Amino acid sequence: MTALDLPLPADPTLDEMRASLGPAIAREAVFDGWSEAALANAARALGLDPAHARLAFPDGATGMIAAWYDAIDAALTRDFPPERVAAMKIRDRIGTLVRARLDYLRPQRQAARAAVAHLARPGQIAAGARLGWRAADTMWRLAGDTATDFNHYSKRATLAAIYAATLLVWLDDESEGESETAGFLARRLAGVMRFGKIKAQLLPSAERRFSLTRLAGRLRYPAL
C-alpha cells in the first residue's frame, strides 16, 4: 500500500469503492491510461468485480481522475495537521503543500500526464477547473485560511492557476532534483501571490481596485 491507499471494507459502498479505486486506477493508468482496462485491472487487484466497480464511475475517466485527486487531498489533510505548518509563514505553507502534492503524484507521473491531457480536452475544461479549484481550496484550508469574503475566491483562483502551471513544468522537468520546478514555483509564489500583502492588493479601495487583467499579466509574466 502507498500513502494514498485506503483499505477496502468487506461490503463496500460505491463511495468506498471510489476512494479505494482512485489510487489503484492511477497505478494502472501509467500503462493503460484512464481507461476501462485500467479500471478493470485495478478492480481485480482489489478483489472486486470489474463490472461492479464500473458502477462507481458513471462519469468515466473524469470520475477516476477525481477519485485519485480526492485521495491526494485526503492524504494532505492527514499528513499536514495544523501543528505541522503553524510555525511557517503563509507563503512557505503553500509552497510546502504544493510540493507535497507533487510528491504524491510522482510515483505515477505518467498517469498524471494522462490526467492533464484528458482534462484539457474541450469537453472536460469545466471538470478540470473544478478539480483545480478543489485542490487550491484544500491547500488554503490546510494553510489556515479562514477568509469568507472576496479574498476566499481570489486566493483560490490564483493558487489554482499557480498549481496548474507548476504541474505542467514538473511533468517535463528533467533537471537534477527537479530544480526547475522548485525555482518556477518559488518565483510564482514570490512574484504573483505576495501572500503577506494579498489582502491589500486584492481588496477594492478608493486608490486600488482589483484588476483581472493585471492579475492575468502577473500569472503569465511572473517576476524573476
Q: In terms of residue numbers, what domain contains 29? A: 14-220
8 assigned to some structural domain: no
The pLDDT assigned to 42 comes to 97
Contact at 8 Å (CB) between 21 and 43? yes
Distance CA 95, CA 143 (A): 10
Distance CA 21, CA 13 (A): 12
138 assigned to some structural domain: yes
Copy the grid coordinates of residue 188. Answer: 510564482
151-209 pLDDT, tens digit each? 899 889 999 999 999 999 999 999 999 999 999 999 999 876 554 454 454 455 444 44
pTM: 0.84
Is a pLDDT exceeding 80 seen at residue 47? Answer: yes
The CA distances from residue 116 to 12, 67, 123, 129, in Å, are 29, 14, 13, 11
CATH label of the domain that carries residue 186: 1.10.357.10
3 assigned to some structural domain: no
Provide the domain count of the chain: 1
Is a pLDDT exceeding 80 seen at residue 32? Answer: yes
- Close Cβ partners of 72 (under 8 Å, ≥ 6 residues apart): 4, 101, 104, 105, 135
